Chain A
Amino acid sequence: MTLLDVQDLTITLATAEGPARAVRDLSFSLERGETLGIVGESGCGKSMTALALMSLLPERSNTEGKILLESEDLLRFSEKDLCNIRGNRMAMIFQEPMTSLNPVHTIGHQVMEPLRLHKGLDKDAAHAEALRLLDRVGIPNPKARIRNYPHQLSGGQRQRVMIALALSCGPDILIADEPTTALDVTIQDQILELIQNLVSEDGMALILISHDLGVISENTDKVLVMYGGSAVETGRTDKIFGELTHPYTLGLFAAMPKLGMGRNARLATIPGVVPDLMNLPAGCTFFDRCPLASDHCRDASPPVHVLNPDHAVACHNIDDARGKKSEELYL
């Protein structure tokens, strides 16, 4: 059975200026032990998707479609039932470990909380389990550290505590939303490796959200590239990076400074800005920035072309985009 199956997920947020369509018709699935990467820039809907999976969206929002966790639709669950799922079967690691940990409780208290709520452990058992978890995520000297407050830990250690919290109930799915964006490259390396090891030891499924194509490329099996609330390119990570096809993916890749490109090369830039979610075009959300756009792109949603079983691209001008190098598209 598919562990997680998301079908036609559409999220509309009510804002002062009107409804904003944060996510449109997003579908993907995830098996046990798989790692899915979601990549895109601010406002592309990647964090909203994560919050929707956890049913943590703001109250003034409307979610349509289906989120099937082992064939049960989470969108039909009551708040009480969702509390049994959150932290228990699905857990999330947030970007900023300083603001997502509670500053007035010790880290021990915070790691023990889900253990006592979900697993019904008594205080001593939860304390012993918390020590084991902190040790497992690589906190040095957990016996002393368990009494520390978040401000006494470094950024990398705080993120380790967040991971211990997320893992405490042995979830089936771990969602990591930009888990290393606030960290140094060396610490990022440590944290990503830790997540990878824990995920493979426990056979969990991982959803890794990042804006960094490098992080996604090195840490995932499947990728979903999002722009303006919809998926523009999906498939197996090695297939996608073997042949970047969608004009947006190509632009994103070209805009990224890469080690070894030297000083004389010039970074390509994607002209324009991300679309206003209040007034999305009827057709492709990328049409006003796309070098290949035609009138057709504005009016009709792009069809999904399946290049091979492991690589699909949503674009009207797929034949033009295919085989183009990013440098040819953006100059």
Chain B
Amino acid sequence: MTDYSVEEPVLIVEDLVRHYRLPKESLFAEHRYVYALNGVSFEIKKGKSFGVVGESGCGKSTLARNVMALEDTDGGSVRILGEEVVGLSFEQLRPLRQHFQMVFQDPYGSLDPHLNVDRIVAEPLAALGPLTSAERDERVREVLESVGLKSGDISKYPHEFSGGQRQRIAIARALITHPELIVADEPVSALDVSVQAQVLNLLKDLQESFGVTYMFISHDLAVVEYLCDEVAVMYLGEIVEKGRTEDLFANPAHPYTRILLDAVPQPGAAKKRDRIKLAGNVTGQTEIRAGCAFQDRCPMVKNVCRSEKPPLVAVEEEHLAACHFSADVRAKNKPAAG
């Protein structure tokens, strides 16, 4: 295995492509495709959190599934701890899966109702090879304690827990193999505000104590700002802006990011805020077009946007954006308060 103790990022994704084939509309018709991922590249350093934001249909969940090697990828590379996972068979992936685990959105659907907490949480240990039952019980006890569940909960079934506690069980199951990388797909969006805060703080604490790396997918920008070191904004299967959370949120360089930030309702804000609004919804997943992915909905679209695809280029240190007019967007940003 590659030595990853020095400087090697935990996850390197290069030019990841995923196109889903649609059923034929008639016998002689050409197959059409959903272009879910069109060349996505990023890397995550050890112990950091990387957020992926965007509307439904932008490809963020597809990205999670491909990083987790849960489906076949059409092109590109995903290296976890230096090991290429694209193209490996299910059996080859099995021993590697202990290093990358996933937490799903819906804590009601992701836990098997027939299994008790002990079996749910211990299940990933099968990937580690044989363990004595004493070792196994010790790991289960340890991991349940770290997510704040009681040892008495071990024989209970999922229906006996509230949504927040179920998400703790799901996090415990992801943690038990001591993974380097946890991919979390909207882990708090099904939870109430006060419970969401508990789970977010838990994720932060676990990162501090175990140094685990997160890839965190969410549509809630405030949640991403709270948890993530770096953010990527996705639109139609592409990263349109990427950077350190504080830079990107304070001074976005892509109109889509600006609009997403403006659309978040603020408690205590004036009733009618002045902001750019976005018309329509995400469309165009099934076609390949010239020009910018965001051209149909962009309020500042010009002719060049329809003919030339803007490259993802640096607008400042560690801050990339794919927009012909990123300088104009940044010039319009209000000066940061304080």
Task: Please measure, in the bound complex, the distance between the C-alpha atom of A215 and the C-alpha atom of B228, giving whole angstroms.
Answer: 24
Which of B19-27, B82-90, B257-265 forms contacts with chain A?
A: B257-265
Question: Interface size for chain B: under 10, 10 to 19, 20 to 34, or 35 or more residues?
Answer: 35 or more
Chain B nearest Cβ from A83, distance in angstroms: 34
Residue B278 at the chain A interface, CB threshold 8 Å: yes
Task: Please measure, in the bound complex, the distance between the C-alpha atom of A215 and the C-alpha atom of B271, giving whole angstroms.
Answer: 10
Residue B129 at the chain A interface, CB threshold 8 Å: no
Chain A interface, DSSP helix/strand/loop, else mixed: helix
Which of B93-101, B192-200, B307-315 forms contacts with chain A?
A: B192-200
Residue A187 at the chain B interface, CB threshold 8 Å: yes
Residue B268 at the chain A interface, CB threshold 8 Å: yes
Identify which of B226, B259, B267 gathers the most chain A CB atoms within 10 Å of its CB: B267
Residue B225 at the chain A interface, CB threshold 8 Å: yes
Residue A104 at the chain B interface, CB threshold 8 Å: no
Residue B247 at the chain A interface, CB threshold 8 Å: no
Closest residue of chain B to A254, judged by CB?
B197
Task: Please measure, in the bound complex, the distance between the C-alpha atom of A259 and the C-alpha atom of B246, giving whole angstroms.
Answer: 11
Residue A70 at the chain B interface, CB threshold 8 Å: no
Residue B245 at the chain A interface, CB threshold 8 Å: yes
User: Could you tell me if A214 and B265 are in contact, using CB atoms closer than 8 angstroms?
Assistant: yes
Task: Please measure, in the bound complex, the distance between the C-alpha atom of A253 and the C-alpha atom of B278, giving whole angstroms.
Answer: 27
Which of A116-124, A170-178, A265-273, A304-312 forms contacts with chain B?
A: A265-273
Interface string of A165-207 (1 = CB under 8 A from B): 0000000000000000000111111100100000000000000
Residue B249 at the chain A interface, CB threshold 8 Å: yes
Closest residue of chain B to A181, judged by CB?
B189
Task: Please measure, in the bound complex, the distance between the C-alpha atom of A255 and the C-alpha atom of B222, giving whole angstroms.
Answer: 12
Chain A nearest Cβ from B232, distance in angstroms: 16
Given A184-B55, A187-B281, A269-B198, CB of A260 within 8 Å of CB of B263:
no
Residue B151 at the chain A interface, CB threshold 8 Å: no
Residues of A within 8 A of B223 (CB): 257
Task: List residues of chain A with CB under 8 Å of any chain B CB.
Answer: 41-42, 154-157, 184-190, 193, 211-219, 237-238, 241-242, 251-263, 265-270, 273-274
23 pairs, CB–CB < 8 Å, chain A vs chain B: A154-B281, A186-B260, A186-B281, A189-B277, A190-B278, A193-B277, A214-B264, A217-B265, A217-B266, A217-B267, A218-B265, A218-B266, A218-B269, A219-B265, A255-B194, A255-B196, A255-B197, A256-B197, A257-B197, A259-B261, A259-B264, A260-B225, A270-B197
Task: List residues of chain B with CB under 8 Å of any chain A CB.
Answer: 55-56, 162-164, 192-198, 200-201, 204, 219-223, 225-229, 245-246, 249, 259-261, 263-269, 271-273, 277-279, 281, 337
Q: Which 5 A-B pairs have the closest CB atoms?
A: A214-B265, A255-B197, A257-B222, A213-B267, A41-B192
17 additional A-B residue pairs with CB within 8 Å, beyond A211-B192, A214-B267, A267-B201 = A156-B281, A184-B55, A184-B219, A185-B263, A186-B278, A186-B281, A214-B266, A253-B267, A257-B200, A259-B225, A259-B264, A260-B337, A262-B225, A262-B246, A263-B228, A266-B204, A269-B197
